């Protein structure tokens, strides 16, 4: 696996260039060890990792709400500490928790966000964003009267209010129903088409699989993998051929011992695992062999391992492939 070197200078091409970022909280807990990561312009980057891995800490450091203990971050070449104005003006953050006000109106709170980020008022932009997030009808409602899903969308509206180049979504679909999740995915894709770079964290692997261009896996404060989603799936993905048998077997016949076969508990399913990368997968031989042995099957299908399998595997092995 390619591991960026801490000594490499910040990348010129990257939208966000993270070098040697470490964080030890006042409690003494080391949440991040030394993170190096480059985010490419216009991509959707999914950051995966178990609870407490350090995803939120990393995001909050880039966005300026947590001070790093070591390291540097550049946003389009602007250092987040020295040039914090230019750096932050390009970033929108949707926090993990539903941190909204209470008494102000939806409209007022989005207007506030835009002003805070140094942009002049723009009723047209405000309307566009509220419509995009299906909040236009709620614009005069008090924030505390919104449902959880609406609050989540409000936070996104606030983050988009100043038209950022980079959007951080920290678990945007936590506690969001299926339909709304689809909407959110569609919205994220739409933003990407507008040229916004998106970094999201999620616990739903299918979400990363569905959305991301690249995936980073973080565990115990260390990035263990950064890879194109497709490459990750190809590289780590195993394929399986599943055969549903006509009559059950008690054991895998000894003639087939040379194939990596598994027999299900009921004896009706044979599972053959092979490497999707290999040129020759021996399926024809296996099928011929089965025919010779008189083992009939009524159905066969192949499946790829999901990111979930890959992810569980990665965490278990600490990133070694």
* Contact positions vs ligand ATP (CB under 6 A): 25, 27, 29, 31, 49, 51-57, 96
Q: In what order do the strands lie in the sheet with 269-275?
A: 261-263, 269-275, 238-245, 297-304
Residue 96 makes contact with Mg ion by CB under 5 A: yes
Q: Which is nearer to ligand ATP, 57 or 197 (CB)?
A: 57
Per the structure block, which two tokens stand in for 224? 């263990």
- Which helix (H) or strand (E) segment is 43 a member of? none
Answer yes or no: are the C-beta atoms of 286 and 274 closer than 8 Å: no
Q: Taking CB positions, which residue lies at the least distance from Mg ion? A: 56
- Least Å distance between CB 63 and other proteins? 4
Across the beta sheet with 30-39, the strand order is 30-39, 16-24, 70-75, 78-79
DSSP for 228-249 reads EHHHHHHHH-EEEEEEEESS--
The partner in contact with residue 53, picked from other proteins, ligand ATP, Mg ion, none with C-beta cut-offs of 5 to 8 angstroms by kind, is: ligand ATP
Q: Is 220 in the site for Mg ion (CB under 5 A)?
A: no
Euclidean distance between CA atoms 293 and 225, whole angstroms: 44
The structure tokens listed for 26 are 């006042």
**Contact characters 34-73, Mg ion, x per CB under 5 A:** ---------------------xx-----------------
Task: Round to whole Å and give the CA distance between 113 and 101.
Answer: 12
Q: How far is the CB of 126 from other proteins (least distance, A)?
A: 13
Min CB(288)–ligand ATP separation in Å: 49
Residue 54 binds: one of Mg ion, other proteins, ligand ATP, none (C-beta under 5 to 8 A by kind): ligand ATP
- CA dihedral of 83, 89, 92, 96, whole degrees rounded to 10: 40
Cβ distance to Mg ion smaller for residue 72 or 96: 96
- 96 vs 264, which CB is nearer to Mg ion? 96
Q: Measure the CA–CA gap between 240 and 305, rounded to whole angstroms.
A: 8
CB of 59 to Mg ion, least distance (A): 8
Q: Which one of 4-12, 77-85, 94-102, 139-147 is the stretch in contact with Mg ion (CB under 5 A)?
A: 94-102
C-alpha to C-alpha distance for 21 and 30, rounded to whole angstroms: 11
Q: In this complex, which beta carbon is closest to Mg ion, that of residue 56 or of residue 173?
A: 56
Q: Which does 148 bind (CB under 5 to 8 A by kind): ligand ATP, other proteins, Mg ion, none?
A: none
Binding footprint of other proteins on the chain (CB under 8 A) = 25-26, 63-67, 84-89, 91, 93, 95, 97, 99-104, 108, 111-120, 158
């Amino acid at each position: 696996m390619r591991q960026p070197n801490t000594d490499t200078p910040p990348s010129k091409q990257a939208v966000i260039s993270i070098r040697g970022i470490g964080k030890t909280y006042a409690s003494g807990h080391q949440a991040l060890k030394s993170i190096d990561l480059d985010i490419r312009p216009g991509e959707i980057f999914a950051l995966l990792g178990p609870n407490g891995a350090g995803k939120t800490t990393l995001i909050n450091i880039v966005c300026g709400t947590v001070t790093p203990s070591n390291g540097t971050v550049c946003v389009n070449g602007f250092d987040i500490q020295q040039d914090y104005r230019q750096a932050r003006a390009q970033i929108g953050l949707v926090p993990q928790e539903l941190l909204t006000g209470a008494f102000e109106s939806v409209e007022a709170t989005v207007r506030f966000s835009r002003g805070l980020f140094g942009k002049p008022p723009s009723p047209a932009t405000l309307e566009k964003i509220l419509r995009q997030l299906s909040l236009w009808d709620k614009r005069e409602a008090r924030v505390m009267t919104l449902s959880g899903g609406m609050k989540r969308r409000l936070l996104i509206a606030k983050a988009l209010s100043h038209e950022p180049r980079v959007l951080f979504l920290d678990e945007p679909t936590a506690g969001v129903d299926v339909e709304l999740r689809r909407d959110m995915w569609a919205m994220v894709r739409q933003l990407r088409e507008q040229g916004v770079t998106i970094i999201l964290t999620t616990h739903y692997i299918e979400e990363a699989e569905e959305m991301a261009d690249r995936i980073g896996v973080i565990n115990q404060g260390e990035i263990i993998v950064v890879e194109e989603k497709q490459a990750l799936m190809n590289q780590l993905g195993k394929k399986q051929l599943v055969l549903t048998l006509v009559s059950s077997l008690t054991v895998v016949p000894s003639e087939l011992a040379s194939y990596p076969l598994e027999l299900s508990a009921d004896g009706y399913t044979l599972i053959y695992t092979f490497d999707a990368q290999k040129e020759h997968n021996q399926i024809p031989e296996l099928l011929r062999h089965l025919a010779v042995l008189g083992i009939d099957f009524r159905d066969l299908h192949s499946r790829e391992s999901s990111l979930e399998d890959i992810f569980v595997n990665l965490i278990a092995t600490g990133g070694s492939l």
